[in-house]
Structure 1
Amino acid sequence: MKTIIVPSSLHLVMYQKLLKEYSNTIDVQVLSLNSFLYDHSEQELNILYQYQKKGESLRDSNTYKNSFNDLTFLKSCLSFIRFCKLYNVKDFPEHTQKDKDLKELLLSIYSIETKEDHIKPIIDFQSVYILHKPYNDIEMKWILFLLENGAQFIDKKTQTNFHYHSMANPKKEAQWICQSIIEKNYNACDCMIFTSQESENQVLAQMLDQYNIPYTFLKKTINSFILDEFNSVFSWIQEKTLSSFLNMIQLLYPEIYKDMNAYYTSFPDSIYPSFHLEKIEYEKNYLIEETDFLYLKNAESNIKQWFLDHDFLLHLTMNDFVSICEIIQNHHINPSIEDIKAYQYVQDCYKQSFDYLKDPFLLIQYLKQSSLTQSVKEIKGVCISSLNDCNGIRPHCFIMSANAKNFPSIVIHKDIFNENYIQNTTLPSLQKRLSFQLQQLKDTLFQMEDCFISYAQSDYEGKTVEASNDIKEWIGKDASFIDVKESSNYEKTKLFISREQAKDLFFKDSIFSVSRLESFAKCPFYHYLKYGLHLREPKSVTEVSTKGTLFHSMLEHLTTIYHKDYIHVPLIEIEKIIKDEFSFFLKVYPNKKTWVEGQIIEYSQKIHRVLQQLSEFENSWHMNIKEQEYKILKKMEFEDMTLTFTGYIDRMDTSSTSFCIFDYKSSKKELRKENFQAGLSLQLLTYTIYIEENEHLKPVGCFYISLSSPFIQDEALHISYPKDNQKLGFVEPSNSNGLDEYNRQKIISGWNFDGFDIYIDSKEQFAIPKNTLSYEECKEQWDIIVNGLLKKMKEGDIQANHVENACMYCKFQRICRNNRKEVRQISFIEEEA
């Protein structure tokens, strides 16, 4: 019986070729080199555990004694031991202390059996045939041994047609391969493609799909969460921390993970906390919204009940493997073939580790580094394989990324047992091993009928890639550049919905907030996600925006009690009020007491500074505070609908005939004409129009009051260096200091209308731009702007064409991804004109 030595991933391809040429395979067996040579199913993890155990017996002074707990180091030792056993090398260098330490560890583990200690007897060398492929230096020993004893390569007498080209980038390279298969009218079953990187496979698969060319990856990655799930449980057992616990819950109990993640983000002190929220009733405050508190309280209740049913998880050990398997099985009611293979793999690894489970670290690391693959059960179309298994089984072969870095892909020993170390042993020299590898690759190329070799001149990052000198030498020519033409022009995805959908989503409820209109003007896609699909912006349920809410509530509280005298409230009174604001917060988050104490001091001082800034304004301002948190309900007719715009006015000041609107902002904000006309700043003017229409008062202005604390830098003390050996001098800073500069900041910005000057003595703290609109112009343009926004909204255009900086704080960036595009602000007034 003939035996053909072929890598396991190529067995089906070889059988397909044999059936095509000889009609049967009765007298032929196709084996991998490993299966042909070794009569032993090696348990690698068990060997590594034995190595780790042997490491304990090394001298304490040995440099590598502690390295035996590192999986990568142990794998390097195993690989080198195999290499040494192939050539019966048992003597190691000891010129330096490092060599002596390495010799001690190698001799301590050499006797542990590996597959090289179990070699099958080979009876008939004459019936052994070897496939031409790039064999590495470990395989070199056996290939040469087989050839010397009568085995032979499968040689095809053919004249290879070489096609050597370069393209601009990897995408065009994959496209060129597809175009070549179609243009040359090749049967897909006669083609093979060899790649060097996983990323190439993804691009190649997309391109083959685009050209409707059938294909098969000869090595299929097993995609299963089984490994991660077992590992999460083992990691939890090894180190019972909150992080490992939540990781296990996320994978195995996703139904409770959302509640746990929210709850433990707020209370990270213990895995099994003292549940306290059930005893607390909500109190009105400005720091924690009622919906967020109730969500957290409900999460606590769910977690508490969950623990009653899953308390056993807190007491799992590595000896509870049956229980762990049951947990995993319950999570996969209908497992896939990949799940079953991954499950069996973990069971095998556990079995190998059984005698060493006191320390599961090695098992955990081994599973984390495991990448499971399986050979395919059937093949169709083009076969895609690794460059390491390059061969000429099929007549038309395409080799991708054949650049100087990847081709030839030769093995050079690195890490601890590198080439410098090997040259001091009796192992084959680097020159001999490289010569063998290069010759095997060259011979493989000349076994192909049609060999298409290509490489991209730059990678996806734009870095230049060099050509392979070996290819040029072997085939006797340089690569010719091909400008691959795109099969179609790429068009950016357009996002839109029908007018009927837009009406159902955006106009189902006739109540509109003003901020909603502004959000549509900033980015239609954001508006669609938040107000159309009602997606909740991702955030922690305990996310507290203390600055805006606290400042706002403080000013409202102080002006309600003290009216115009609120600016004179002493610091101690401010501290007391802020402390009261945090009282409910401390009930909910007792673990944040230290943080709260710091917040009280910090914000008491900041609010006191703000009041000092506002004192000049209040002393020269001759209107009284009439309303705070004044709710508006402005109705408007739009086509066949009556819409109502809602909002809250932070502060409205009045006289007997006039009024002025103020809106508190936690950051500095300006009211600009271009923003108003583009629909980006409608809030103040909407409020102003509503009050003028319903209160029958005359508007004199609308303004933002900034509650931010700007950073002011004091002028430094300068040293003068006079000439003629005089003494050093000091240049006194100017009389102005940081506090004066802080107080001079213009914290009130907006527009004034006719009659404003009557009510103000000084405009020092007002930032009012020139050439603002009159109130009559504002009112007229407001109607045009709002109608324009509503019409665009109704058309169903939800493209993520956003204005400048709209993406900076957007929580939906991951959703819109590449669809977003920054555009110039569009003025509805210019469009109308």
Structure 2
Amino acid sequence: MDADTLHITLANTSYKPILAQIFQRYHIPYTLLQDSRSSIIPHRFSALFSYYLKSDTDSLRNVLDCGVFHIEQLQKLKDYLDVFSCDIKEPFDHLQGITEQGHILDTVELTKLQKLEEDAEQVRRQVKELTDPLTQPDSLPALIQTVSTYVRESIAQDGSDTNILLHIETMLKELYPYINKKEDITFFLYFLDDISQSSAPSQRKGVIVSDLRQAPFCREHQFLLGCTQKDYPAFQTKKGIFDENYHAFISTYPTMEQRYQFYLEQISAQLYAAPHIYVSYPLGTYEGKGMEAALEIEEFVRKLLHDPKAKSSPYPLYGSYEPVSTNITLSPAMAEALFVRDGNIHGSISALERYVKCPFSYFLRYGLSLREPMKVGFPDSYAGTLSHYLLETFTEEYGKEYTRVAEEKIEEILMKEITVMQDVFPSLEKKLENVAQRILTSMTQTLSLLDEYEQHSLLSPYQSEKEFHYQIPLNEKVNLALKGYIDRIDTSDEFLCILDYKSSAKTLSQTNVFAALQLQLLTYAIVCSKEFQKRVLGAFYVSLKNENIPYTAGKLSRRKPVTHMPSSKEEYEEVRYKSHRLNGWVMDHEIQALDDNGTHIVGVTQNKEGAVKARKLYELSSIERYFTQMYQLIGNRILNGDIRCMPMEEACMFCSYYEICRFKGIYAEKTQLVEVEDDIYQQAKGSDEDA
């Protein structure tokens, strides 16, 4: 088909942007007979008048976002308001006097905030000078003149269409006699919402695109798109005050049925406007809701199918589509330039886990060094950081007696950190007080649970936040250089174990481990076994969350007479301790040194003879061999430039780069990177289940 022989009629005008994109992409000439689109100019008038009516932070953001002010580094002010949510009437200077950042904000983050404040303060002065005539106008005429001037100046800089500006200024002149007080401005804002920009083509070329309101062109091929029950024939009934019931009393006015039949006759011309007619409708929306063809269209098609002269037939549509995946790769030379420094690929274990989940995300973060958005306020990760710091402080100061720290001491250290955060984010003062109370309660309960564990362990806290470096050769020139911090190492004369604090309950899954999705905990065990030359009893997660515990209030005896037996406090405590057990992998048969009664570690029990044994006993040397293979495989994929955009499903959930890749394909499946044999167990063969 030639573009000059086609005419497309849209029952749903929202298809216009989609068609325009398709035609532009494939360089097909086209003409939109009537292109109606919203304009930024009414929004600028509305934002400025709204700020006059209510001079709050939200109204100011609307003014800054609408583009009416062309100020260098305006984004700095917007970023500052997003972080601190303050008023521009007062200077931005509260961060300049802060020298102590505590242990939640690091020095880099505080320095960034202080630099942002300096830049935002310069912009604030300019914006305040421009907005003062809006918040404190000499008169309503002066306000209207100021708003018109600001919008007109913005148009001169960004080249917007002036027709709508002239239309709005004419409206203001007509309405001016009726604007006598501040509240009257609100009435004018309703008119702005309905203003749109409409344009007609100066010449027609290629495919003609119109809607049901426009007469069809006599071309060889006529397409009628979007003929659903909702959009076709789209007859408009009278609504509002002057509805159909009102018009029924006007004897000379056509009835709704008469108008409907006349309307159908008019748009039916679309169905006979060309020798070849193509009618289509979608089966569903993008949200998955089903849609059906209009009854009028079904009747029209039914008649044609029974008319041998019409020679009508269903249009052949694709029944299925092959998934298309775009493999993005870099040349090895480019990959080396981006990722290798001084003969090493530097990074953390979590960075490599990110690569496994989504290579493209790793490329954006560590190849292009695209920084993720600054954390605003007090996100949940800060609560985890604070809990880590409290436990680190207590174990370093009190050793094995850390679980018996007085609540007053916990509150003292906690509030010192919270006060620093309140100085940085003064608008969050009340919220931070609530956060402090929640962390205090959680930490007190966590310490009471850990106290039970410490009484049955021969090991004592040895180091917290232990920095480690671990190198794995990838080839003759490049190594994989890992760096990180181990939350806690407990030791005795002969043994050690690794404890990793988590903000919620977490299991160490063999499937996830050898799919390279849980590398941290066992890598810590490998590193410590080499450095300390002690027998590693195991590596475990410690949940800092007070889990919700399903617990029955009591039991009913089935024997007559039926009696109720309430649950005891001892039974509740047993269930509570069981739900907060350590979870991980045991690597030495002398596990009773860490849990002498087999009640504090998942998978560890005490038999009738009093011996404490683990259900699974893992071999650390075998794990190290498999981990070396996985790390080398991941490192060589990075060196080969494999940055494909094929994320696993969970990778996109909290990804800051989703707006860049806009991934809409099929998620990658979780697969093991190495074939694992039974040599990962010291004795009892196990199945692929959580420990």
- Give the TM-score normalised by structure 1: 0.70
User: What amino acid is aligned across from residue 201 of structure 1 in structure 2?
Assistant: K
Q: What is the correspondence of 1:529-568 to structure 2 with a 5 Å cutoff?
A: 529-544=364-379, 545-568=381-404
CA 1:494–1:354 in structure 2 vs 1: closer, same or farther (change >3 Å)?
A: farther
User: Residue in 2 aligned with 1:647?
Assistant: 484
| 1:99 match | none
Match of 1:583 in 2: 419
- Is 1:308 paired with 2:135? no
One-letter code aligned to 1:787: Q
Structure 1 residues 594, 205: closer, same or farther in 2, change over 3 A? closer
CA shift, 1:266, in A, is 4.7
Is 1:297 the equivalent of 2:123? no
What SS does the aligned partner of 1:708 have? coil
Q: Which residue of 2 aligns with 1:28?
A: none
**Cα pair distance change 1:788/1:205, threshold 3 Å:** same
Relative distance call for 1:801 and 1:473 in structure 2 (3 A) is closer
How far apart, in 1, do the equivalents of 2:563 and 2:319 lie?
Answer: 72
Tell me which residue corresponds to 1:374: 199
The structural deviation recorded for 1:650 is: 1.6
State how far apart, in whole Å, the 2-side matches of 1:507 and 1:570 are: 49
> Structure 2 CA distance, aligned partners of 1:307 and 1:657?
63
Per the alignment, residue 462 of structure 2 pairs with 626
Give runs of aligned pairs for residues 256-271 of structure 1, distance below 5 A: 256=73, 258-268=75-85, 270-271=87-88
| Cross-structure match for 1:747 | 581
* CA apart distance, 1:426: 3.2
Counterpart for residue 201 of structure 1: 16
- 1:312-327 map, 5 Å: 312-316=130-134, 317=137, 319-327=142-150
| Matched-pair contact (CA < 8 Å) for 1:277–1:297 | no
What does the per-residue CA deviation read over 1:758-799, in whole Å, with 9 as the maximum and x for residues that have no partner? 633233111247445301112211211110111122222223
Aligned partner of residue 801 in structure 1, secondary structure: coil
The answer as to 2:53 corresponding to 1:229 is no
Contact 1:701 1:752 in 2 (8 A): yes
Percent identity over the alignment is 25
- For 1:293 and 1:464, how far apart are their aligned partners in 2? 53
Deviates more, 1:510-519 or 1:784-793: 510-519
Deviations 1:471-523 (A, max 9, x none): 84699534742223599966233333332232222224632212211221222
Match of 1:436, SS state, is helix
Question: CA offsets per residue over residues 382-420 of structure 1, 9 Å max, x none?
Answer: 221121112345565443344555444434212221111
Aligned match of 1:239: 54
Q: Does 1:497 align with 2:330?
A: yes
Q: 1:826/1:434 Cα in 2 relative to 1: closer, same or farther (>3 Å)?
A: closer
Residue 519 of structure 1 aligns with an amino acid whose one-letter code is: R
Q: Which residue of 2 aligns with 1:572?
A: 408
**Residues paired across the two proteins, number:** 643
- 1:343 aligned onto 2:165: yes
Of 223, 229, 247, 1:422 maps to 247
Contact 1:262-1:541 within 8 A present in 2 as well = no
Distance 1:436 1:278 in 2: 70
Q: Quick check: 1:272 aligned with 2:272? A: no
Distance in 2 between the 1:334 and 1:274 partners?
Answer: 29
What SS class does the counterpart of residue 279 from structure 2 fall into? Answer: strand
Contact in 2 for aligned 1:402/1:467 (Cα 8 Å): yes
Contact 1:402 1:453 in 2 (8 A): no
- Judge conservation of contact 1:194–1:387 (CA < 8 Å) in 2: yes
TM-fit CA distance, 1:190? 4.8
Cα 1:421–1:671 shift into 2, 3 Å: same
What is aligned with 1:16? none
User: Structure 1 regions of 5+ residues with no counterpart?
Assistant: 1-181
Matched, 1:663 2:489: no
Deviation at 1:622, TM superposition (A): 1.8
Alpha-carbon contact 2:220-2:274 (below 8 Å) kept:
yes
The alpha carbon displacement at 1:279 in A equals 4.6
Pairing 1:757-772 to 2, within 5 Å after superposition: 757=591, 759-760=593-594, 761-768=596-603, 770-772=615-617
Q: RMSD in angstroms over aligned alpha carbons?
A: 3.4
The one of 340, 349, 356 equivalent to 2:178 is 356
CA shift at 1:614, angstroms?
0.8
Distance 2:242 2:557 in 1: 63
CA contact (8 A) 2:442 2:544 kept: no
Q: Deviations over 1:663-716 (max 9, x none)?
A: 222222222333222222222232232233333333332222221110124423
Work out whether 1:675 is the aligned partner of 2:520: no
What is the CA–CA distance in structure 1 between the aligned matches of 2:592 and 2:47, rounded to whole Å? 71
- Once the two structures are TM-superposed, the CA of residue 565 in structure 1 deviates from its matched residue by 0.9
Q: What is aligned with 1:135?
A: none
Equivalent positions of 1:516-535 (< 5 A) are: 516-535=351-370
In structure 2, what residue type is equivalent to 1:381?
G
Give, as a single letter, the amino acid of the residue that structure 2 aligns with 1:788: L
2:304 aligned counterpart, secondary structure: coil
TM-score, structure 2 as length reference: 0.83
1:484 to 313, 317, 336: 317
- Per-residue CA deviation, residues 742-764 of structure 1 (Å, 9 max, x unaligned), is 22334322222236436332331
Q: Contact 1:803 / 1:824 at 8 angstroms: preserved in 2?
A: yes
- Cα distance in 1 for residues equivalent to 2:667 and 2:282: 32
Contact 1:278 1:301 in 2 (8 A): no
Closer, same or farther: CA 237–474 of 1 in aligned 2, 3 Å:
same
Q: Check whether the contact 1:660–1:699 (CA below 8 A) recurs between aligned residues.
A: yes
Which ranges in structure 2 are unaligned for 5 or more consecutive residues?
306-311, 604-613, 679-691
In structure 2, C-alpha distance between the alignment counterparts of 1:393 and 1:804, rounded to whole Å: 50
Kept in 2, the 8 Å contact 1:745–1:765? The answer is no
Counterpart secondary structure, 2:413: helix
Q: Which moved more, 1:341-350 or 1:481-490?
A: 481-490
> Which residue is equivalent to 2:296?
469
1:599 is aligned to 2:435: yes
Which residues in structure 2 correspond to 1:816-827 (within 5 Å)? Answer: 816-819=661-664, 821-827=666-672
The letter for the 2-side match of 1:807 is C
Letter in 2 for 1:494: N
Paired position in structure 2 for 1:45:
none
- Distance, in Å, in 2 between the alignment partners of 1:583 and 1:758 is 43
Q: Cα deviation per residue 1:241-287 (whole Å; 9 max; x = unaligned)?
A: 21111111123357555444443345436443464524522314233
Partners in 2 of 1:744 and 1:442 — Cα distance?
Answer: 73
- 2:565 and 2:252 mapped to 1: Cα distance? 77
Equivalents in 2 of 1:625, 1:533: separation in Å?
Answer: 40
The residue that corresponds to 1:710 in the other structure is 547
